[in-house]
Amino acid sequence: MRAPLIAAALLVAAPLHADPLPSWIAGDTKAAILDFVESVTDPASDDFVPVADRIAVFDNDGTLWAEQPAYFQLLYALDILREKAEADPSILSSDVLKAAAEGDMDGMLANGLDGLIEVVNVSHSGITVEDFKASAHEWLTSQAHPGKDVVYAELVYQPMLELLRYLRDEDFQTYIVSGGGVDFIRAIAGEAYNIPPHQVVGSEGNTTYELVEGEPVLTKNGGISFVDDKEGKPVGIMRHIGKRPILAGGNSDGDFAMLEWTTSQEGPSFGLLVHHTDAEREFAYDREGHIGVLNRGLDEGPERGWLIVDMAEDWARVWPGTE
């Protein structure tokens, strides 16, 4: 269990005027980020943006942490589903759920996102929000990723941690805006990213307020009330933040609308896509598969002025605590 290392890495104070992005290799990509942040924070600049409007939003899976071989929340849901099915096999009431319990990822995802939602739905219900977060936190900080020799919570991208901290140092508010479940991400966002719960926007499950033995609790009771993905991301941002961001970062076409909305406004804005080109240190994928598919962003991003971050070329290191 090496998760505390992450928190420790965040706490190391940078000397004044030190490079705020030491894990980004010097070049056009790094320069573009520094130039944008400098221009919107310099009171003498035409592009100056007041502190209250310095809103930055980031996708989570594939943008701040890894998402292969599948979204971590899905892998967690599968573990919980198997646990629940051992106690009561009758919960495997559909082909999707049976495939999921058998670890047949293709069968589960045969119908796209719906299969994923069905699994999450069954595995994330009948539990209080607090107990769910404790369970997710325990899993993320104790279970080892298949293929990487560390717990899931450590598979955050060091360059993105530096970018988050740099933006906050420049008085940005840094939000996560994820298709993943809001409670799952909040279970670890403080520790992993130094982001408090109110700055996490995500998909939302139905929750009920009720008294259990006289004590009020909030219970996750199955069903999804809001999907914070694709066109849902700008909607989620408006609902939670109530303002259009000036910087948006993502890695898949699920982030397209969020970047489009962010970069279509009058005044300065910045769109960034992490391109997974690094089979050696992380993973290499884009146009194919079920997870983190990136087509439209690669085709249209450059002409829209979005920065395509080439993980293999632009990042000196990928993971915290590595050289």
Residues of this chain that bind a copy of itself (CB under 8 A): 52, 129, 173, 182-183, 186, 196-198, 200, 204, 207-210, 215-216, 218, 225-226, 231-232, 234-235, 238-243, 257, 260-261, 264
Give the shortest CB-165-to-a copy of itself separation in angstroms: 17
Tell me how far apart the alpha carbons of residues 231 and 101 are, in angstroms, rounded to a whole number: 31
Which is closer to a copy of itself, CB of 158 or CB of 178? 178
Q: Which is nearer to a copy of itself, 51 or 279 (CB)?
A: 51
Residue among 238, 119, 138, 242 nearest 181 (CA):
119
Q: What is the spatial distance between Cα 144 and Cα 119, in angstroms, rounded to a whole number?
A: 21
> Residue 188 Cβ, how far from a copy of itself at the closest point, in Å?
12
Alpha helices in the chain (DSSP H): 4-11, 28-41, 72-87, 95-101, 105-108, 113-123, 129-142, 158-169, 182-193, 232-240, 256-263, 296-300, 311-314
Considering the complex, state which of residue 233 and residue 290 has its C-beta at the smaller distance from a copy of itself. Answer: 233
> Distance between CA 188 and CA 172 in Å, rounded?
21
Q: Residue 144 or residue 238: which is nearer to a copy of itself going by CB?
A: 238
User: In the bound complex, what is the minimum distance in angstroms from residue 320's beta carbon to a copy of itself?
Assistant: 23
Give me the least distance between CB of 301 and a copy of itself, in Å please. 15
Nearer to a copy of itself, 195 or 309 (CB): 195
Nearer to a copy of itself, 91 or 218 (CB): 218
* Shortest distance in whole angstroms from residue 215 CB to a copy of itself: 6
The CA distance from 203 to 237, in Å, is 11
Q: What minimum distance in Å lies between the beta carbon of 128 and a copy of itself? A: 10
- Residue 39's nearest CA partner among 249, 270, 261 is 270
- C-alpha distance across the termini of the chain, in Å: 20
DSSP code per residue over 295-313? SHHHHHTGGGT-EEEEHHH
